[in-house]
Amino acid sequence: MPLMEAGSDTPETPTVRAPIGGEQLRVPIQYRPGFQALALLPDDEAQAALRAAQTTELLSASALTRRMEQAAPTLEGQGREVVDAIFSLLAYQERLPWTGEELAEKTAKSTTLAIPDEKREALADRIAAWMLADAVALAAKATDVISEQERLFTSARILTDLRPVFAEAAEDPPLGVGIVETLKIDYLDAEGSDASFYVALDTGDIADLKEVIDRAIAKTESLKQWIGSAGMAYWGYEEDENAGIG
């Protein structure tokens, strides 16, 4: 989730490469709305949202977003974009030659952000403050730790095909039709690039896959209960009513 100095205006994905140093930062498209929303937030709501994030509770990004939107109603529907934008800075701050305040200032001054010039100084202050907020820093660290994997799942689908079976004479009607299921899994590789792989399945394979997934869900729910009984916080990418502390 890096900020970068140069590149095309295409959505950036997390990558192990550190951004190039320089005076002008280019903010990836997917993070611009979050920074822009933070810049245009009224002062009183900006302060209220920051106070909501100044907690040592381990909150998921979803829980943090809800708290922020409750404190700053203007951000309703945009809170997650703000959270993800700040996360993008924290993810690579240690790899950059700048302090948090310097990174915040360079981000606010980026010409890739469509905000009035008079709002940039305040945006820099807000970004710097948000980067120091306990709940934001903890959630960003949890995201980084959990996502430290060679491949990260992004989506999946099963494609269903009908394949006719012909006799020797191709002009004759097919003797029958077979059903082929193909599982497509999309993921991010270690370099942050999109990739996919395909696996052919039959009806039995799908049943086996469902059984494995159902078992994994049951084990996860059991572990959540154990974590709660041990007095520890559960952190997940997306929080449901029983997850986390928020």
Domain ranges (residues) in the chain:
29-146, 152-229
pLDDT tens column, 45-71: 999 999 988 888 878 788 888 999 999
- Please write the tens of the pLDDT for every residue from 208-244: 999 999 999 999 889 888 988 887 767 665 544 333 3
pLDDT of 203 higher than 70: yes
Choose from 16-20, 112-116, 168-172, 239-243 the range with maximum mean pLDDT. 112-116
Alpha carbon distance 122, 87 (integer Å): 19
- The DSSP H or E segment spanning 15 is none
pTM value surpassing 0.85: no
Q: Is 154 helix (H, G, I), strand (E, B) or coil?
A: strand
The values of phi and psi at residue 198, to 5°, are -125, 140
Task: List, as one string, the DSSP characters of 124-154.
Answer: HHHHHHHHH-HHHHHHHHHHHHHT-SS-EEE
Rounded Cα distance, 149 and 168, in Å:
50
